[in-house]
Amino acid sequence: MSGQGEAWFDDAAGPLVRPYAVTGGRTRTDNFGLDLITLVVALPSVAEAAGMAPEYAKIVRLCQRPMSVAEVAARIDLPLPVVKVLLSDLIEQNYVIYRSAAPATDTPNKHVLQAVLDGIRKL
């Protein structure tokens, strides 16, 4: 690697920050069982997010309406494990609430399956 002024990244990449720096070195959090389809919504207004760290504020601004964990990760362009750590921090501080999907039952309800079948037959 020779030459002065050569950069190993392009200007469009923006500032490079390692994910572990965003989470303070934490890589996992299993406190709340957040998965891809867990819905999260922010409690404070966008104005209240002004004093937060940039990543936290971005999540609060984004989650003014219910949004899945996967969508949050995609919109703020951070890896899913990092977003889970950040969301867990916000949940612990009562800035965000969450709702997990209902667990799937072992066997499907026979009446529901029959109603679906009857509906398909009517088409």
pLDDT tens digit sequence for 52-80 = 888 899 999 999 999 999 999 999 988 88
Nearest-CA neighbor of 19 among 106, 93, 107, 85? 85
Amino acid identity for residue 50 in this structure: A
Q: Domain range for residue 47? A: 14-104
Residue 83 lies in a domain: yes
Among 43-57, 80-94, 99-113, where is mean pLDDT lowest?
Answer: 99-113
- The enclosing domain of 33 has a CATH number of 1.10.10
Residue 1 lies in a domain: no
Residue 8 lies in a domain: no
* pTM for the full predicted model: 0.67
Number of domains comprising the chain: 1
More confident residue, 2 or 113: 113
CB of 61 closer than 8 Å to CB of 31: no
> What's the chain's average pLDDT?
81
Residue 9 lies in a domain: no
CA 98-104-108 angle, 5° bins? 150
